[in-house]
Amino acid sequence: MSGTPDAAWIDRLGEALEDYPDPAHLLDAGGRVRRANGAARAISTLSPEAHVSEHGEAVRCCACDVREALAAGAWRRWHWAAPQGTRDAAAGRYYEVAVWPLVQGVERALLGAVVAWHDVTLPLRLEHHLFSEAEALENTVAERAEEAHRLELRLEALGRDLVALRESQADILRQDRLLTLGQLASSLAHEIHTPLGAILANADLTRRAVARLREPGADRGRALEALDRACAVMNDGGQRIERLVRTLRNFARLDESPVQTVDLHDGLDATIELLGHQLRDRIAVVRDYGDLPLVACRPDAVNQVFLNLLINAAQAIEGHGTITVRTRVDGDYGVVEIEDTGTGIAPDNLARLFEAGFTTKPRGLGTGLGLAICRRIADDHGGTMDADSTLGHGSRFRLRLPLAGAQEVRSR
């Protein structure tokens, strides 16, 4: 059989390709198109011979690849974009072009070739889309990783700020406690001054009475009476001082662990006793105690609340007045109310009463931290603190603390 197929052969092969779903062309050995199937005829721009550019060695076209396949007598496949200026190019179509050389005999004489065009626009677009999405996802992951790193650095900075803030809060608590204890120390100094003065005066009297007893002809009876009176006064003064020291120790609870199950009445009584100098001869203290069970708390912290509230109540009373201390049970909570007959608090100020730094006292008399710290102590114990007031008639502060076992005290 010669290398040039006859017309009948071409017709038979062309008929076989007619129903092939993809566009296909039948070429002769010289690479010229002899037949095109129905799908190829529907797309006139598809042809190995179409749109062959004037080109040199560095530029290739579809016809170049077809000629190489024919020369090699080997199957070849490649992707091909529709030529510029065609409708397919406007639609952005891509084809997979496959060339099957037709050979005959042992010598593999080339008879021609079949060129098929398979539209791969959608798969390529999908592949391109997937690559784009993967690239975008990779970029997003990189951005998120960078953002996570920035957040990590920010979190570390916030952690350092939190440590500094806690240290600052601890300093504020210590400063307020020192201020409160300073007021307490002033009151305590006055309380101790009177019995201490009596002890010192009677110690001198005792020394002089003993000297008289040593004199010849001394009236021993009168000297002994003076000594007895002096000893009684010194004993009373010593007991007074000892009672104040014991009350101070109970107030501070210096010899106990941070959290104790205590009777709040003991703390109230100790605080009132220590403030005796500020209250005596001017303010009457009424104790209206109810049947209050034990409360689990840090006694020194709760006593600091009592001290702040009682000092505030005393300072709010101009001249003479009354402070009423009430206790009662409200469900699982023990309630302590401290009410005064002072000047009261304006409604606008009442809303800001527990803000740190806010105070209605004259400069030098208040830091604006006492009530804020009192509320924090209440919060730490799982309790609450609030207040109500009538301007010109007085104020009432209310501390609610869980009864023993009702709430675990948070560590500071």
Taking alpha carbons only, the member of 284, 281, 288 closest to residue 341 is: 284
Token couple for 354: 């527990």
CA quadruple 106, 107, 111, 115: dihedral, nearest 10? 80
Residues of the chain with CATH 3.30.565.10: 253-412
Note the pLDDT of residue 242. 74
Q: Greater confidence, 11 or 96?
A: 96
Q: CB of 309 within 8 A of CB of 396? A: no
Note the pLDDT of residue 224. 78
Other Cβ atoms within 10 Å of 90 Cβ, number: 10
Give percent of the chain with pLDDT exceeding 90: 14
| Per-residue pLDDT tens digits for 14-40 | 788 888 888 888 888 877 888 888 888
Task: Kindly report which listed range (4-13, 81-90, 215-224) carries the lowest average pLDDT score.
Answer: 81-90
| Per-residue pLDDT tens digits for 216-259 | 776 777 777 777 877 877 777 777 777 667 666 666 554 455 78
Identity of the amino acid at 120? V
pLDDT-derived band at 2 (thresholds 50, 70, 90) equals very low
pLDDT at 285 over 90: yes
Give mean pLDDT, residues 132-143. Answer: 88
In angstroms, the CA 283 to CA 129 distance is 86
Q: Which fold has domain 253-412?
A: Heat Shock Protein 90 (3.30.565)
Residues of the chain with CATH 3.30.450.20: 7-119
pLDDT at 286 over 90: yes
Taking alpha carbons only, the member of 86, 160, 80 closest to residue 124 is: 80
For residue 125, how many C-alpha atoms fall within 13 Å in the half-sphere facing its CB?
9
Identity of the amino acid at 266? D
In angstroms, the CA 116 to CA 357 distance is 87
pLDDT at 370 over 80: no
Note the pLDDT of residue 334. 93
Note the pLDDT of residue 218. 66
On average, the pLDDT of the chain sits at: 78
Most confidently modeled of 114-123, 140-149, 330-339, 356-365?
330-339
pLDDT at 321 over 90: yes
Note the pLDDT of residue 190. 64
pLDDT-derived band at 310 (thresholds 50, 70, 90) equals very high
Note the pLDDT of residue 182. 65
Token couple for 307: 């001290």
CATH number attached to the domain at 7-119: 3.30.450.20
For residue 231, how many C-alpha atoms fall within 13 Å in the half-sphere facing its CB?
8
pLDDT at 408 over 60: no
In angstroms, the CA 134 to CA 122 distance is 18
Note the pLDDT of residue 323. 95
Task: Kindly report which listed range (73-87, 211-225, 379-393) carries the lowest average pLDDT score.
Answer: 73-87
Give mean pLDDT, residues 54-63. Answer: 54
